[in-house]
Amino acid sequence: MASRKVNLYTAELVDCPSADLAVIKVTCGKGFYIRALARDIAAALGAEGHVAALRRTRVGAFAEDAAIQLSILQQMSDKPALDKTLVPLETALDDIPALAISGEEASRLRQGREIVLLPHQVEAFREMRRPRQVNGEDASRICLATEKVGEEQLGVALGEVRAGRFMPVRVFNQ
């Protein structure tokens, strides 16, 4: 696998219960391979090593201490309780560019149809667009179309922007 630039923010030795075991707390950016770090630390020490246990406690805006057990979610039968408990889709997709669209455009997308973007929407997307790879594929054209409902911008569809058009890939039901 070709090397690429990733971010390691902190690596803290938490515990060393034996000569063969170290507990390390790492804060890193996306795409960072913890197993590669363990291998490289061992190699620097003139040894061989591997990860015996790996626990992810945070991904982006999501922290383990805010997680809800599936069994508890399954017991929530009313929508208001679920709405209070679950984070909005837009929170999960906050690192993906979002384009505001009209109600009419949202209706077209909900029917699985593409929409023609206005020049200001195309320009807004160009300004937000960043290089992105997903499973080795170029995902820099992926965008979230959002519609203003009340005071909130709600996700309507995840799609691809090409040649001044937004083509839905996944449409979200309200």
| Digit-coded pLDDT (tens) for 94-110 | 778 899 999 999 999 99
For 120-138, the pLDDT digits (tens) are: 999 999 898 888 877 778 8
What CATH class does 87-171 carry? Answer: mainly beta
What residue ranges do the domains of the chain occupy? Answer: 8-55, 87-171
Going by pLDDT thresholds of 50, 70 and 90, the confidence category of residue 30 is confident
For 38-88, the pLDDT digits (tens) are: 999 999 999 998 999 999 988 877 788 888 888 888 888 777 877 778 877
| Residue/partner pairs of 164-173 with CB below 8 Å, 24 or more apart | 164/116, 164/117, 164/122, 165/114, 165/115, 165/116, 165/117, 166/99, 166/101, 166/109, 166/114, 166/115, 166/117, 167/114, 168/109, 168/112, 168/113, 168/114, 169/142, 171/109, 171/110, 171/112, 172/89, 173/110
Q: What is the pTM of this model?
A: 0.59
